[in-house]
A and B are shown apart, each in its own frame.
Chain A
Amino acid sequence: MSPSLTGTGHGAASRGGGGPPARAVPHWRRGLRPYLLIVPALLLTGGILYPFGLGLYYTVFDFAASKPQPDMVGPENYRRIFTESSFWESARVTVLYAVGAAAVETVLGVGVALLLHGSTRVGRVLEKILILPLMIAPVIAAIMWKLMLQPSVGVINHLLEPFGMGGVQWTDTPAGALLSSIAVDVWIYTPFVAILALAGLRSLPASPFEAAAVDGAGWWFTFRKLTLPMLWPYVLVAVIFRFMDSLKVFDIIYALTEGGPGDSTVVLQIRAYLEAIRFQRYSFGISYMIVLWAVVYLVTMVLVRYLGKVQNRAAEVPK
């Protein structure tokens, strides 16, 4: 044993290191600590919730630029929304858009992730640029596609011409406009699904796959019985994000079609924008948004609960 330590040890006089006598902090002050830390965030959150509350309040009035002294109208705005065919048309388009985009992105994204996971040299290079579309502002992406999809001078039709398919009126037909918008959404967000799915694939335990290989299981069997169930929690996170975000799509449609031709791609957020900002019928526009918000909120609750179940089940899978 080193004698030096015994020599330089601290005698009874310096026990506890000296210093000031112990001070007791009252219980209530210790309990307050976490609250003090979140107070600024709570205030800021309040600063965002306030306009939301204000908006909710506006919906029972007929506030508009043409009517700066609004009257209370009760649930009139909501009644009008649910009885107008344009709302149901917007709702239909929104759901079509969200389901279509989320479905294609999921399949394509998981596919790309599987290919990247299995690939060796090519995949490693391509993986580095996978995020590129995702980091481009959606509105910029839509502008880029708008230039390319231009019927007469756009490059897409030019490239299709040799195949006898030139002159497609991409965004000038109702169906074409919707499909084009979904295509832009797919272009931007497929990497999102792919990145999350790839992270999932990389975190899967190896032993079940080794066991399956030893048992001589085929590729399809392994994929369906092992990969997919274990990957599902990861993919589901991506699907939830994509579906929820597509329900409130705005940027892409605003830049690509402006809701046209006619009203064919007027999704709910575009409708609210037109009502509130273009036509300056504030109360009516906000009412639209409150309805969309309620729907998004409910769907989120359901999906997040489902996600919780799936994650629990996945955690139970013996690894």
Chain B
Amino acid sequence: MSPAISLRGIRKSYGRNTALDGLDLDVGEGEFFCLLGPSGAGKTTTLKTVAGLEEPQSGTVSLDGADMTGVEPYDRGVAMCFESYALYPHRSAYDNLASPLRSPRHRLPAAEAHERIGAVADLLGIGALLDRPVGRLSNGQRQRVALGRVLVRPARAFLLDEPLSHLDAKLRQAMRAELKAIGAVRRTTTLYVTHDSVEALALGDRIGVIREGRIVQTGTREEIWHQPYDTFVARSFGRPRINLLPGTVTGHGTFLSADRFFEIPLSPPAVRSAAPGTPVQIGVRPRDLSLGPGPVELTGTVYITEVLGRATEVTVRLGGSTCRWSRRARTPPGCGPTLR
């Protein structure tokens, strides 16, 4: 079966700026796919290319296996939530939600439309705001209206561009949890763009990491987390960031830090991928470190300690490099002592 959304070799540039540089992407039927990347990586352009709002210079977009080249946005049957909301400022929240249901493509009888709009509005907690002109809504409320405009209508795919970014922290967390439970979202292929790795990990059935107009890696959250393709992907997930320590692979299957301060054993598959003497970086997630004896032990000096409520982040000096370590400890170690 062909993927619901498929992009092949998409190239799009604006004058001298290249937005998408041969991008390939497949999103399966009914899948919730998160596209994660820094700003300017080409996330929005990808969505707009799928929607038919941007025409790539080369490459093809297929939906359900059908080539979409030259197909107008209104004939593609996808719904998109814009980061800028793109709400019609001269109309009420209700009319904005009703807009797709009054269009020639998705027209519903007024009574039926009314019912659907009511249901979606209640779902998003904006039922009481429907009569207001969108100009009098807060950013968070507007964002929910924009999301609602996508959810009220049938679509072969939802394209969501940072749909939670303007909500306040508490609401964002609640919406993030609820979003995937929404029936329409559960059934519909969704391409979700975000710059927030937590959001991507929480929501995505699969995650794609995009940089400079190219997909760097796609995979499930476990694959992305444990086997990042490169340091960019590794650094994109997890706060505090993964520790990347430079060094070399030795002849007897260990990692020797660049300043020869410490040496740790490597797992056999890791050793097989690099010949002895190869300069490498070893990635250690701060959460995977712990205090006390273990299979691998490192000794360093506490440099900075930050108590951040639930967790404590400790920066430890290991010879010439520093290593961050996150722990749930209630009593953080003070500065200065040597840790084992």
Contact = CB atoms under 8 A, between A and B. Distances in A.
B71 A25 contact: yes
B77 A16 contact: yes
Nearest to B72: A25
Nearest to B4: A15
A292 to B, nearest CB: 38
Interface in A1-29: 1-2, 4-10, 12, 14-20, 22-27
B74 to A, nearest CB: 9
Contact of A27 (B70, B116, B178): B70
Interface in B65-101: 66-72, 75-77
Contact of A10 (B67, B123, B178, B184): B184
B120 interface: yes
16 contacts: A1-B183, A5-B119, A5-B120, A5-B123, A5-B183, A9-B184, A10-B184, A14-B154, A15-B77, A16-B155, A17-B106, A22-B66, A23-B72, A25-B70, A27-B70, A30-B55
Interface in A152-210: none
Contacts of A5: 119-120, 123, 151, 182-184
B156 A24 contact: no
Contacts of A30: 55, 70
B87 to A, nearest CB: 21
Contact of A23 (B71, B181, B187): B71
Given A15-B156, A18-B154, 8 more contacts: A2-B119, A5-B184, A6-B183, A9-B187, A10-B184, A15-B188, A23-B71, A24-B70
B105 interface: yes
4 A-B pairs closest in CB distance = A16-B77, A6-B183, A24-B70, A16-B156
A15 B115 contact: no
B12 interface: no
Bin chain A's interface residue count.
Answer: 20 to 34
Residue picked from B55, B106, B154, B156, most chain A C-beta under 10 Å: B154
Residue picked from A6, A7, A15, A30, most chain B C-beta under 10 Å: A15
Contacts of A6: 183
A17 B184 contact: no
A18 B154 CA distance: 9
A17 B71 contact: no
B179 to A, nearest CB: 10
B153 interface: yes
B122 interface: yes
Nearest to B69: A24
Contact of B119 (A8, A12, A16, A27): A8
Contacts of B115: 8
Contacts of A14: 154
Contacts of B154: 10, 14-18
